[in-house]
Structure 1
């Protein structure tokens, strides 16, 4: 099953799709409703069913609402846990790592 990891910020969403062996290139989407819907369309086209997202503050809420309406199985990941892992300090790596939580 393909999964996706998101790192959600105020102005951007970093997305990495994982097919069980390899990560896709990380795509960046805007946080406006149209950008979130484009993200959802991208995920559907990639065959993603499950999405894990990391976010600080409340930036994840509109992403959650729209992707939930689009039928994705969602998981919110605590960013504190990801920041504690050594070597994982970029948004791209955070988006990729969020996929790992789905296989635990």
Structure 2
């Protein structure tokens, strides 16, 4: 029984190697696009392959990045009527691409000193972890659109500007807290 199980595992591993080699042969045409997509935090070769397999390299099929996000199913719902917000769920879209992007978002959230990590923690406090993860997947998809359209690598937003805003927000928060403490009546 063990020999049969071992033989089956070896056969499956051999088949997987053949499939991987075939995929690598197909990807030789798009080596530049794969390398450009890998500049996004959290996107590795498998994710880049999945993205290219689902949306291709020609971004002229989508009028803008919002159409791509809608097609993928990663754009947030905006159902509001008479000032009342209703459903904010995302639509179904392309499930395999959405899965690959959410996995990439999860990996991006765990990279050190990245914009996507900061954005995730900023959103997760207000919206929840799962919604924040979908928002990061949306950001990765938008970055993918512009990378494939303009053929440029991913560029991280300026960290210095964010640090200045964060420092000013902390100063304002401490000043507000000080004013609140001054307004309290003296304890007896």
> Normalising TM by the smaller chain, what interval?
0.3 to 0.5
Higher RCO (C-alpha under 8 Å, 6+ residues apart): 1
TM-score with structure 2 length normalisation?
0.21
Q: Which has the higher helix share?
A: 2
